[in-house]
Copies of this chain bind each other. A is one copy, B any other.
């Protein structure tokens, strides 16, 4: 079991991301950026909790904070899950391919793990969609002194969603099961649909409150 990449320093993470080492890659980068978006959404909530000026929204903010913190934990875990599935895939590509039987076993293993390698960025995308949805009420109800941070949270969640989508698509391109590909592609389209517009709505709301 490899160590958790969230226990590396930010500088180390950046160095290893930039290197030709296979991990971390864009999928883990997307998960981290989603986690950064969730963290900023949490920050706005934490700067609202217990403030007399925001007495009316305390219950809403506490509920929003519980959700952003759960999503932050999930997205942080997905940094490592993307790396773990890469290692599994990499091992499958190294399987012997000298005989027809070996070739068939290797191909079956690769195709099997490629489905899991698709599901990880799909889960990153799903979590980012949830973060993005939470940014709207947080920008509306949260501490106005931190409203720009709610806007940054929305920008990061949407960029992480689209980054995860690219990682879904690159895996789907290698999967032979046409039915699986069509189903995942439709699910991905559903996740992406309307999100650029939602991000712009939140951005405009934030700018109007600056």
Q: List chain A positions with a Cβ less than 8 A from chain B.
A: 4-11, 13-15, 17-20, 25-26, 29-30, 32-33, 35-36, 38-40, 42-43, 46-47, 49, 68-69, 72, 76, 79, 146-149, 151-153, 155-156, 158-159, 162-163, 166-167, 169-170, 173, 203, 206-207, 210
Contacts and interface: CB of A to CB of B under 8 A. Distances in A.
A148 B162 contact: no
Nearest 5 A/B pairs, CB to CB: A159-B159, A18-B42, A26-B152, A20-B46, A18-B39
10 contacts: A4-B11, A6-B10, A18-B43, A18-B68, A19-B43, A19-B46, A26-B151, A166-B203, A166-B210, A173-B210
Contact of A17 (B11, B43, B203, B210): B43
A76 B167 contact: no
Nearest to A143: B20
Given A25-B149, A33-B36, A159 B155 contact: yes
A151 B155 CA distance: 16
Contact of A29 (B18, B69, B156, B163): B156
Contacts of A163: 151-152, 155-156
A49 B206 CA distance: 43
A182 B6 CA distance: 41
Contacts of A33: 33, 36, 156, 159
B46 A17 contact: no
Given A9-B9, A18-B39, A156-B163, 7 more contacts: A6-B14, A7-B9, A18-B43, A25-B43, A25-B146, A147-B170, A148-B169
Contacts of A5: 10
B9 A35 contact: no
Contact of A152 (B11, B29, B152): B29
